[in-house]
Chains A and B, each alone.
With several copies, the nearest count.
Chain A
Amino acid sequence: MKVTVTVMLKDGVLDPQGKAIGHALAGLGFAGIGEVRAGKVIELDLVETDPARARAAAEAMARKLLANTVIERFDIAVGGA
């Protein structure tokens, strides 16, 4: 079962990459762009087929390794393509 972990910087942690992307997009002539935030996704293919257990496993992985909770928050989506 596929599980997607999305890791973003916490609010309050400066995101220079997001800012630079916003800046670059504006430079390319794209208008009407507010805040831009950049983060990471990790797609995991788990043997687990129970959604709740898959989520719990991914959450443990995120806490242990995939995110640094000093600076990052994470989000888990189970299933999908």
Chain B
Amino acid sequence: MTEVSPALARQFGLNDEEYARVLAILGRTPSLTELGIFSVMWSEHCSYKSSRVWLKQLPTTAPWVIHGPGENAGVVAIGEGLAAIFKMESHNHPSFIEPYQGAATGVGGILRDVFTMGARPVANLNALRFGSPDNPVTRRVVDGVVRGIGGYGNCVGVPTVGGEINFHPAYDGNPLVNAMTVGIAPADRIFLSAAAGVGNPVVYVGSKTGRDGIHGATMASAEFGQDAEAKRPTVQVGDPFTEKLLIEACLELMATDAIVAIQDMGAAGLTSSSVEMAGKGGVGIALDLDAVPQRETGMSAYEMMLSESQERMLIVLRPGREAMARAIFEKWELDFAVIGHLTESGRITVRHRGAVEADIPLAPLADQAPLYHRPIEVAPPPPPLEPVADPVGLGPALLRLIACPDLCSRAWVWDQYDATVGGQTVKRPGAADAAVVRIDGHTRALALTTDCTPRYCAADPRAGGAQAVAEAWRNLTAVGAMPLAITDNMNFGNPEKPAIMGQFAAAIEGMAAACRALDFPVVSGNVSLYNETAGSPILPTPAIGGLGVLEDAAGAVGLALAPGLDLVLIGRTAGWLGQSLWLREIAGREAGPPPPVDLAAERRVGDFVRARILAGDIRACHDVSDGGVLVAVAEMALAGNTGARLAAGPAMSPHAFWFGEDQGRYIAAVADGDALLAAAAAEGIAAMRLGRSGGAGLTLPDGVAISIDELRAAHERFFPAWMDGAGAGPGIGG
């Protein structure tokens, strides 16, 4: 038996002060299992000990918010008695070690967070950041991650409808894999995790428990000397088939009155689910581990409590519903076991082979969890960018930008994701600024997007945080949707470094300001810290997942340009080149402050654009983001296979006008440009004519003509060429 000591506690990630608190709470030395429970519940991942004080600043309420942060996922009302349930979650570290399984199990985990609340998952998205394409490791990681996301999502039959990808050397040793799931449920049938009803049975369903991914701390522990143990992988293997059965079985059970509370077993599996369910409900819980379905023999209580085996859920049933529930899970050929009951003790007690392996009071475990006000240091934003000359001209710059890894076509990626299963996908990846998914049996639809521009966040995390939220809002607006709420995934480096914590604090501040100004609250999220390799952190990456609603799916507009339309730029242009892709790709510099977001203007312009879309005036719409106006026009031309003739811009450097990344702008294609300009003028909104669509290419204001074919060849070159022969991964199914 391993001796529990301060030294061991340190290896479990508990510092001396935290361990002293454990001793005080228990009034004795913890057992190994108890130490494991404390260490995972008080880990950064479960306790948010570094981030909690900052997360509190985010606005989380609105009349349409049904459940904000604190539940398994956020819940918003979307009309007609329906609710959308959604969340984003990271699986960064596992995806670097084993890209396929790491990404696959990331998708599996976020799906469970959503269907555990009673929703049928209807869409997946993924926000990915990879290292430099020149780094040979990157290709393997991209290949595995994309296959893994597809492998899991395609098999469970949830369409993957959107996402984003960036490359930057800062992610070389630490890619980011953020997966988002959106589900739909009746608004009055939401399932929560707070346990209730002393005596009620606690039921385990899904896959059996194995020694998967047992807490990393133990892995590093020499005291756990048995060699076999030390060599156990921390990466789990996903089983999407079982997940699919679990979705169907849980939804079938949820149609009955049997469930009191339900929670998926995510990180720290049985420990976090049982502690959280009982803790939230203010009851005690008694578990009998002998009843837990086990895949391996001889597992200890410690191993079972900390196993991260996938595709499992914990349910508190109403008394007397066991047989009915069991029949449902047996029909779906899933494990079902009553493994305990609720008590009035206010404690978690864990029994195994006749011995009490853990007996911990729940209230102090939660209330006395560590909370840190870590020191912060906010770097001043970079000085303004002095004017930069255009070394190449508009046409060559456009061809280079549209081909660069951050702007090129992602078709190679989304072609590997089933985007149509479910038969409700109105706008697939690449078709619009946000994905649009109709709600089965209704005319309304959800609009979905993920956004973040890490290079902006690195230069000025406050401006970058606001920009990420604003871009998500803009992308939803650009399809005609009313933005409702966001989920976030805060990916940062080591919070013990004041500079990193400063980035975190500033990003939150920027996000909070944008959320407030746009009535766009945060309803769920996830924090991933310590994203560093050899002391070098990733770019601060607060990924935003946005959700909006369209009352009529048929009103959604996409990017695709049709001939014979006026192109109108809506929103103010100052020619902002700081941190632009033009500056990086053409001038070879990453400098200056990022473009600021004028939140009041953002809202006014967006509300105007949405109103014109809903009025049916706008035939195609695209927000202006990475690469600026000319890149946005080119993307519309490519999507619609239709060219355009562009007029000269206003009095400023042409490259600053065409490639500047000023925020809060949209390009609208309309039959009557004058009418749109007049409507904008009437509301005091800046708007100007860019040109007219038609023909087989773009004619730039300097007279240079680029054919759609040439644009397309440039746009579509990177991924297939780079990935050619990248490997032969695991099963891809059919």
A–B touching in complex (CB under 8 Å): yes
A contact residues vs B (CB 8 Å cutoff): 9-17, 19-21, 23-24, 27, 38, 65, 68, 70-71
As a 0/1 sequence over residues 232 to 244 of chain B, the CB contacts with chain A under 8 angstroms (1 = contact) are 1101111101100
Contact (A13, B233) CB under 8 Å given A23-B725, A24-B728, A38-B728:
yes
A65-B296 contact in complex given A14-B310, A70-B233, C-beta closer than 8 Å: no
Mark B300-339 against chain A: 1 for CB-CB distance below 8 A, else 0: 0000000001100000000000000000000001000000
- How many residues on chain B are close to A (CB under 8 Å)? 28
Q: Is the CB of B237 within 8 A of A16?
A: yes
Decide: A70 and B210 in contact? CB cutoff 8 A.
no
Chain A residues in 8 Å Cβ range of B731: 17
Distance from A5 Cβ to chain B, minimum over Cβ atoms (Å): 13
- Nearest neighbor of A15 in chain B, beta-carbon distance: B237
Residue of B nearest to A14 (CB): B237
Contact present for A12 and B237 (CB under 8 Å) = no
Per-position contact with A for B657-679: 1 when CB-CB < 8 Å, else 0?
Answer: 00000000000000000000000
19 A-B contact pairs sorted by A residue (CB < 8 Å): A11-B228, A12-B210, A12-B212, A14-B239, A16-B237, A16-B238, A16-B241, A16-B242, A17-B731, A20-B241, A20-B727, A20-B728, A21-B728, A23-B333, A24-B728, A68-B98, A70-B98, A71-B101, A71-B237
CB contacts (< 8 Å) of B333 on chain A: these are: 23
Given A23-B333, A23-B725, check contact A10 B233 (CB 8 Å).
Answer: yes
Asked whether B237 lies within 8 Å of A9 as measured between CB atoms, the reply is: yes
Q: Among residues 187 to 230 in chain B, which have CB atoms less than 8 Å away from a CB atom of chain A?
A: 207, 210-212, 228
A-B CB proximity, top 5 nearest: A16-B239, A20-B728, A14-B237, A17-B728, A70-B98
Q: A12-B210, A12-B211, A14-B210 are in contact. Are A70 and B235 (CB under 8 A)?
A: yes
CB-CB contacts below 8 Å: B710-725 with A:
725
On whether A27 and B235 interact (CB within 8 A), knowing A14-B210, A16-B242, A70-B98, the answer reads no
In the complex, the answer to whether A12 meets B296 with C-beta atoms within 8 Å is yes
Instruction: Determine chain B's interface SS by DSSP, over half rule.
Output: loop
Give the Cβ gap from A51 to chain B, nearest Cβ, in Å.
26
Binding site for A on B (CB under 8 A): 97-98, 101, 207, 210-212, 228, 231-233, 235-239, 241-242, 295-296, 309-310, 333, 725-728, 731
Question: What is the CA–CA distance of A12 and B236 in the complex, to the nearest angstrom?
Answer: 10
**Is B728 a contact of A14 with CB atoms below 8 Å?**
no
From A9, A10, A14, B309 is in contact (CB under 8 Å) with A14
Residues of B contacting A14 in the complex (Cβ-Cβ under 8 angstroms): 207, 210, 212, 236-237, 239, 295, 309-310
Beta-carbon nearest neighbor of A26 in chain B: B725
Query: Quick one: closest A residue to B136, CB to CB?
Result: A28
Closest to B144 in A: A68
- B733–chain A nearest beta-carbon distance, Å: 11
- Expressed in whole angstroms, the Cα–Cα distance for A65 and B295 within the complex equals 24
A38 proximity list for chain B (CB < 8 A): 728
Q: Check A71–B233 contact: CB distance below 8 A.
A: yes
Contact A13 B212 (CB under 8 A): yes
Nearest residue in A to B140 (C-beta to C-beta)?
A65
Q: Do A70 and B725 form a contact, CB below 8 Å, given A14-B207, A14-B295?
A: no
A6 to B231, CA, bound (A): 20
Q: Are A24 and B725 in contact (CB under 8 A)?
A: yes
Q: Beyond the given A14-B309, A24-B727, please list 5 additional residue pairs across the A-B interface where CB-CB is below 8 A.
A: A19-B239, A21-B728, A38-B728, A71-B233, A71-B235
Note all chain A residues with C-beta closer than 8 A to B232.
12
- Interchain nearest-CB distance for B163 vs A (Å): 24
| Inter-subunit contact B97/A70 (CB<8 Å) | yes
- Chain A residues contacting B97 (CB-CB under 8 Å) are 70
Residues of B within 8 A of A27 (CB): 725
- Bound CA–CA A55/B541 (angstroms): 45
Q: State the Cβ distance, A34 to closest chain B Cβ, in Å.
A: 12
Of B211, B212, B310, B727, chain A has the most CB atoms within 10 Å of the CB of B727
Residue of A nearest to B214 (CB): A12
Q: How far is the CB of A65 from chain B (nearest CB, A)?
A: 7
Identify which of A10, A11, A68 gathers the most chain B CB atoms within 10 Å of its CB: A68
Q: Which residues of B contact A24 (CB under 8 A)?
A: 725-728
Once bound together, how far apart are the Cα atoms of A12 and B728, in whole Å? Answer: 20
User: Most chain-B Cβ atoms within 10 A of its Cβ — which of A14, A24, A65?
Assistant: A14
